Amino acid sequence: MLPSDLKPKQFSGYPPQAKKLVTDYLETLRRLPLSFLPSLLREAIEYDFKFPVERKTLERELSKLDSLSDAKIKEWFKEFQQIRLSPALEHSDWVNAPAQFVEQLSAHLWTTHQMDAFRKAALDYGDRLRAAAPPELPALPRLWITIIGQGVATHDAPLFRKLRPHGAYFSRVKPENGLNVLLDAIAARAKAHPSAYGHWYIDGGQNADQHPSLTCVSYGGLETARAVLMAKMRTEIEKPGMGPEALRTFLGQIRPADLGLGETGDAVLDRFQVKLLTEGSGTQVFSTTFAQWAAREASRRAQPLTLLVRFAPRQRQRPMNELLSGSQAQAELDPAGSLIDADIGAYYNWLNQQRLPGAEQSSFLAWFENHNEALAIGPSMARGTGSTTAATLAELLAWMS
């Protein structure tokens, strides 16, 4: 079946809002090439479970495509039209299983030596779309905070080395009640500027304080879901003939109810957390990996106005089969190694912030928990500088604004 043959009834299996979205733009979808359309449907079929920013982005894309003349459509998608598809792809159920189509398309492109052509087509399309429908600026400058080093008593090596060229390093920060100061600050910010999924608290530890104004995700809070998932993974791995691709397909079909989630009534956040555990590598067993992946996905998908990420000690590295074995032996923690993970994680968090609209006005704070070291980046902070001025975390936040 080709896109020109699409009919409304073929989307009957889509969630309600996704179904309405695609049927509203059905005439536009019919004009798109098959080498491109399933990638768009892969996003559309998840519309009901997307964050507001993602929904607006998809809506802007569809609206822009709808406004293009037939001649412009041919111009925009000329390179996609030149991609040769196999009969198996053309006859697959790409309407109801667009993600599987995209995976199969990737393999086809590699085997037919068309990957470079497809990549160029995708990049050219992205450039056209950004020029025609630029992303919106945030409602207020972003403030992101990363807390590292929980449980580390002393550390002699310099921290924040990759961040120091971009901001001001403070060596006499007063750490008293620091975590509560930062949590109270972001909670107050969220209350002053309400935004659905706009203010986040991600904790790699066992507990995450639940602030009504914040979107909270924690490694400890998903302990039961992680245990259920690892049990399912062990069962699948032990099946004859099970390989990485089959396991990936299995994980992609897991829903919140399969992991005991869904009781909060927040289907968007539940689906987000399932994807953290099923699409991330190591998020099921390493708290630092969980915190880093959660921050990455939140920044990419929800584009938070406020984000606090707190790293916690992870268990020591062991063979993956042992980690997934379900052994009840007490895991040995590695605070020093976790600090190294979190230090580079803070840098990655800042890089992710810089990729978002309004980056030049954003602020970023990294703090060594319960210690006197911090790094502040923002429009008012001199780059590549250091300060021995005694300051509280509250004062640092005020100076950054």
Give 10-residue mean pLDDT values along the chain (401 residues). 94 97 97 97 97 97 97 97 96 95 95 97 96 92 97 92 97 96 96 96 82 91 93 88 81 92 88 95 93 97 98 79 58 90 97 97 97 97 96 96 82
pLDDT digits (tens, 9 = 90+) for 101-131: 999 999 999 999 999 999 999 999 999 999 9
CATH fold label, 143-400:
Alkaline Phosphatase, subunit A (3.40.720)
pLDDT digits (tens, 9 = 90+) for 274-292: 999 999 989 999 999 999 9
Record the pTM. Answer: 0.91
CA dihedral 210, 213, 214, 218 (to 10 degrees): 10
For tokens 């919106």, what's the residue? 136
- Rounded-to-integer distance, Cα 148 and Cα 142, Å: 20
- Rounded-to-integer distance, Cα 130 and Cα 133, Å: 5
CB of 304 within 8 A of CB of 343?
no
Give the count of beta carbons closer than 10 Å to the beta carbon of residue 216.
Answer: 17
pLDDT at site 306: 98
Give the count of beta carbons closer than 10 Å to the beta carbon of residue 400.
Answer: 20
Percent of all residues in the chain with a pLDDT value above 90, rounded to a whole number: 84
**CB hemisphere CA count around 106 (13 angstroms):** 6
Task: Give the end-to-end CA distance of the chain in Å, rounded to a whole number.
Answer: 55
Q: Where are the domains of the chain?
A: 3-132, 143-400
Contacts of 108 (CB under 8 A, 6+ apart): 85, 86, 89, 114
- Rounded-to-integer distance, Cα 11 and Cα 1, Å: 14
Q: Which amino acid is at 201?
A: Y
Cα–Cα distances in Å, from 270 out to 173, 254, 273?
A: 37, 12, 5
pLDDT averaged over the chain?
Answer: 93
Nearest to 275 by CA among 207, 221, 229, 238: 229
- Reported as type and span, the H/E element at residue 235 is helix 223-237
